[in-house]
Structure 1
């Protein structure tokens, strides 16, 4: 009678696939998939695929056989027999056309997806580029501490341009011919800082000109302010389209330069022969 009870069960096992056999053995042992995962260190997702004999969900042919053998050990089935059965099913399912090896992590640890990591790096790069742009923009304009330092340096030094600035307009004959409203244009021959001082010598306004950048001095600036710069040779000054030449020795802080058209022309004509040629900027074009 016992043999008759066993025979149907053996017959049932004979017609099932390997995954069904492993599942039945697990259930007979009173184990859950989680228990088998703990014993084998194989994820439940892959164990469930083995039980369904759906080997396409596994990372590769070698892993399919190895996982099935490990499962068999956990439920006390002959692992060699299970391994051979899986290989046979793989051939029947034409699974051999899949790559023999694919990258696999046996445990499913929490990890950052590749796409998310890529976007994170892109965002960080954009933040760094933006931060550099802000820093560059803010660093172009000198702060008040720099202006104060330049003012002190100019006050403590006796720059030769002071004598040039004192040249009266009455010494030239052509200065009187310059229109009082002639446009005064400042052009950067290279990056150059310029400032505008009030009657007390305090720099109220300043800016930086890039190479080739022009700035037409507003009429109210011409009347209220004087010009200062720390790189005279990098600044081209024109009055009504006329280049008035260098406003001071190279790499010397100059200040108190009148912006009135007649004074600029008279100042330049009065200083002809006193400024070394090497310190005079060469007009472009």
Structure 2
């Protein structure tokens, strides 16, 4: 009887979705490295999901997708895990709200003098100016902006406008049908591969300077998606094809076939495959 009570208490203690994923992984005899290999998600992101530490992930819009991939890798129901993660995100957002404080009238005798007020205004202006200069010189993409645009673009395709690009593939140059397609991270960037129905079958994160040669099977069966196009360099047979979409915008349905990528660089991009919206 005592053993049953201990087991019941252990089950009640497992309240976070990350605990369920970790226990399923351990029960299957898998390490975090094994799950990372299956899902193409970095170990530090998987570990953050197990700890329910969502601040360690590249953006909150990725949390549900990462958790569902983890669930598939350890044979847990995707929908249940996705719902649990969304519920925890809402709880975290509610818990981070400031507590209400009752308003008390200010004592006029405690109001700051005019000189102190002007000093504070000048200091605030200097801080705002310094921040503006830092933002102007910064080359890192704004992850909050990327996450917001990624979620807003979930209902529609990315605009097909072209962006200025350094050294695209030479117009009219012949390209072999089996030329290697290589993706290189200019800074940390998330990429995904969608099947013909628009469902993301695989994804991974490329660190700055990391390269990934797309397997021939992926070139034929999948299209590319990313939310930070300016952080990703695409080459075909060693030639840069230029940007695959506007900066800080979710793009998807990008054909990985060498001829289509070169055509896109020459100003006549192939139309992306229609991809119906998928949940989670």
TM-score, L = length of structure 1 = 0.41
Q: Which has the higher contact order (CA 8 A, sep 6+)?
A: 2
More helix by share: 1
